[in-house]
Amino acid sequence: MAGRDQHYVPKTYLRAWENEVSSKKEPDKKFKGVYHYYKNDLTTGDGRNVESILSRYHTYTIDFDHSFVFNEMPEVARDYGKKIQGIINQREVMAYYQGRKLDTIESLISDEAFQHLEEWVFYKKDNPKRLAKKKAILNNIREVHSYEIEKKLDDFLEKEWQKTRDSFIDKVTEGAKCGSVQDVRVNHTLATKLIYNVLIMMCRNPEFNCMGIFPAIGTTFMNIFSANETDNENMEKAEKLVKLLLHGAWLAEIYKGLFDTKKGFCEVFSKGIQKNCKMTLLYCSESSGSFITSDNPAFMFLSNVTKNNRNGLYLPLTPHHLLLIGKGIDDIENVDMYELNNKGVRLYNNIILNKAKNEIISICKHLGYIL
């Protein structure tokens, strides 16, 4: 099956940073895009279009190796079952496991049967007593991919993000009517939707570690699988298995956040934020600079030095708007707005830079003025 790149930073999000840019290879040729940097080289931005950056091969794809998470993802499992059923129909065969006919989607993806795929047998539909060659059929089944998570991300965030972001910014700035003001009232539905979007954005990133839970699980698994193990080849197999398990756990968290399961990281944190936090919109004029963003746009920043005013969840919304969700005593509909000078822009940009993994996005070809 052909490869499939999937953007872990949404294209619709990155388009807020689009402007007229030029690449390093063709500095005189202007086109619509963003300036892209690597953290180890912040000298000059390279003009890129948003289609070509911040994506990975099959980032959210569920394939045969991830079948162990089917119980956590019923919609994905059903999609997978439909595709297996399609293969069986196309091949004009009937599938059996231990004498039981697998003639429904539920039977095809059941733990009892699917985990023993090698033991399935196939008979010709036009001659039920004649066995069909199963090697090619099993290969087809192992090549099945489900894109349900990617499709749901498109429906949930890509198609709605710009409207949600702009509605929030417009409401706050309209209520502020000046550079800095406290307690601008926004609609509860809009506030909670923005919060959930931030959490989905945070969760969907491959760098997401579920507040340190995933690394801890990985360490535990490695200790178990590699106990008394000295063979390098077996150690590599153990590391590959742990990586697969953690990837499955990550995909399961995204699924929980998208398919309204009422559990998981996004649901728990959304409720906690609504109960204990306050949103602040930080604004900068063009004369004061602009905010950068990165390959890790939504993140948590914690520092004992700045715990009273800068700790919390961050997401740059546009080059001139930065959302900060931190501790607060007011209800979540009361939003503060502060206008930053260049010094403030530099301070927050350095926090964003620090939390980036490898890549930075800006509207500026040179970052000196804003870093």
Give strand pairing partners of 56: 6
- Whether residues 3 and 93 fall in one domain: no
Q: What is the mean pLDDT of the chain?
A: 90
Condensed to tens digits (0 to 9), the pLDDT of residues 225-284 reads: 776 666 777 778 888 888 888 999 999 999 999 997 788 899 999 999 999 899 999 999
3-state SS assignment for residue 215: helix
For residue 209, which phi and psi values (nearest 5 degrees)? -120, 15
Do 366 and 292 share a structural domain? yes
Residue 74 lies in a domain: yes
Residue 175 lies in a domain: yes
Task: Identify whether residues 314 and 337 lie together within a single domain.
Answer: yes
Instruction: Identify whether residues 169 and 221 lie together within a single domain.
Output: no
pLDDT tens for 97-152 read 999 999 999 999 998 899 899 999 999 999 988 999 999 999 999 999 999 999 99
Residues 243 and 170 in one domain: no
**Model pLDDT, residue 239:** 85
Can you list the positions of beta strands (E) in 13-70? 19-22, 30-38, 41-48, 55-57
Query: What is the C-alpha separation between 176 and 336, in angstroms, rounded?
Result: 9
Q: With pLDDT > 70 as the criterion, what percentage of the chain qualifies?
A: 95
Length in residues, the chain: 371
**Are 253 and 344 found together in one domain?**
no
Domain for residue 131, yes or no?
A: yes
Asked if the model's pLDDT at residue 2 lies above 50, the reply is: no
Residue 224 lies in a domain: yes
Say yes or no to pLDDT of 326 above 70.
yes
Is pLDDT above 90 for 343? yes
The 3-class secondary structure across 143-157, one letter per residue, is: CCCECHHHHHHHHHH
My answer on whether 89 and 125 are in the same domain is yes
Please state, in angstroms and rounded to a whole number, the distance separating the CA atoms of residues 123 and 32.
56
225 and 310 co-located in one domain: no
- Based on the domain organization, do 103 and 235 belong to the same domain? no
Same domain, 199 and 119: no
pLDDT class of 303 with cuts at 50, 70, 90: confident
Amino acid symbol at 207: E
Q: What is the pLDDT of residues 199-218, one digit of tens each?
A: 999 999 998 988 788 888 88
119 closest CA partner among 134, 140, 109, 103? 134
Range of the domain at 309: 1-61+150-203+263-371
Tell me how far apart the alpha carbons of residues 151 and 131 are, in angstroms, rounded to a whole number: 37
pTM for the whole structure: 0.89
Mean pLDDT of 13-33: 96
Check whether 351 has a pLDDT greater than 90: yes
With H, G, I as helix, E, B as strand and everything else as coil, classify residue 98.
Answer: coil
pLDDT of 247 reads: 92
Evaluate whether residue 105 is within a structural domain. yes
pLDDT for 306 equals: 61
Within a domain: 321: yes
Residue 208 lies inside a defined structural domain of this protein: no
Domain count, the chain: 3
- Residue 75 confidence (pLDDT) above 90: yes
Is residue 5 included in any domain, yes or no? yes
pLDDT confidence tier of residue 1, bands split at 50, 70 and 90? very low
- Residues 277 and 177 both lie in one domain: yes
The reply to whether 270 and 342 lie within a common domain is: yes
pLDDT tens per residue, range 138-153: 999 999 999 999 999 9
